[in-house]
Amino acid sequence: MILVTGATGTLGRPTVSLLEASGHSVRALSRQPGPDRVVADLSTGAGLTAALSGVTTVIHLATGANTHDSHHMRQLLRAIAAHPIDHLIFMSIVGVDRHALGYYRDKYLSEEFVVASGVPYTILRATQFHSFVAKLFTAQRRSPVTLVPAFSMQPVAVEDVAQRLVELVDAGPSGHVPDFGGPEQLHFRELARQWNAAHSVRKTVWSLPVPGAVGRSFARGVHLATRPGDGRIRFAAFAEADARSAAD
């Protein structure tokens, strides 16, 4: 039995679907009740004991736009200590060991907790998802211009990452595996141009530097994987699919 945390999230949904399609028995963990879900709270640990019953593999995908992920990891590892498993797969981010962003540093702390726990593990770091990049553009849909940070990204499709996670389940505990990135590194200006073109939007794109240590980390490219990455789906294809969906 495989327990997937964050099963209803951006990456969780395609991961659960691919696991089931591959013949795996999956238990989807969520804070909210729903069909085919087990309810547990990673903030308090409530429900984790029941969620882990009979589980041999955990894929930990739950995350949030804050620095509480390491606390959630501690709660999960405490529960696993009482109900040992064969394999913990942790989804992390490329560059967390070198980036100044607080969210990244906390993600790296979670990695360190996993390594020190003694639980057989695999840690996969991926670059930013297509949907994460797109949020910057959709937030500015009513703006006369598109403002973007002055650095490059290597966006990756969640479908590609989900497929890699299924492969890692079958491979067994592998430690730190190679970073997983999108097929191309593009400046945010080009990503905005592709997004606007797919959505038939004609706007000027302005790039602005990001100040401070966080900006310097992005400018150095510590959040980028090797080029080309292992992902197959390009951002332009994602943008075009999103535009078609919005038009339906």
pTM, 2 dp: 0.93
Tell me the per-residue pLDDT of 192-242, one tens digit each, with 9 for 90 and over. 999 999 999 889 999 999 999 999 999 999 999 987 889 999 999 999 999
Percent of the chain past pLDDT 70, that is, above it, reads: 98
* Structural domains in the chain, sorted by start: 2-247 (3.40.50.720)
> What is the pLDDT of the chain when averaged over all its residues?
93
Residue 48's pLDDT is: 93
The vertex-158 CA angle with 239 and 144, nearest 5°, equals 30
Q: What is the pLDDT of residues 17-29, one digit of tens each?
A: 999 999 999 999 9
Residues 95, 158, 174, CA angle at the centre, nearest 5°? 60
